[in-house]
């Protein structure tokens, strides 16, 4: 999780990613940011994020992103 938080802070250091829960819904991150996150997940965890997983609920918070990573690792 720490690597994910560090990556997210590198995207935008003005957002408190540990507490933010409206990253997509609040338009705090862009679609390009989401693509960067997906690329990071692929590079860092060797997980391909399927298109069906690219939904706001999975990217609204760092915790949601982490939960998606853990779920995809189990598959």
The third-level CATH classification (topology) of the domain covering 2-8+20-74 is 1.10.1200
Note the pLDDT tens digit of each residue in 37-56: 999 999 999 999 999 999 99
Predicted pLDDT of residue 18: 96
Predicted pLDDT of residue 75: 87
Sites in the chain below the pLDDT cut of 50: none
List the domain boundaries for the chain: 2-8+20-74
Q: What is the pTM of this model?
A: 0.95
For residue 57, the number of C-alpha atoms closer than 13 Å in the C-beta half-sphere is 4
Rounded Cα–Cα distance for residues 55 and 44 (Å): 20
State percent of the chain over pLDDT 70: 100
């Amino acid at each position: 999780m720490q690597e994910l938080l560090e990556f997210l802070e590198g995207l935008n250091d003005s957002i408190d990613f540990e507490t933010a829960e409206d990253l997509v819904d609040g338009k705090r991150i862009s679609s390009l940011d989401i693509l960067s996150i997906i690329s990071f997940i692929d590079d860092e965890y060797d997980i391909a994020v399927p298109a069906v997983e690219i939904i706001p609920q999975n990217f609204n918070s760092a915790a949601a992103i982490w939960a998606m990573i853990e779920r995809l690792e189990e598959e």
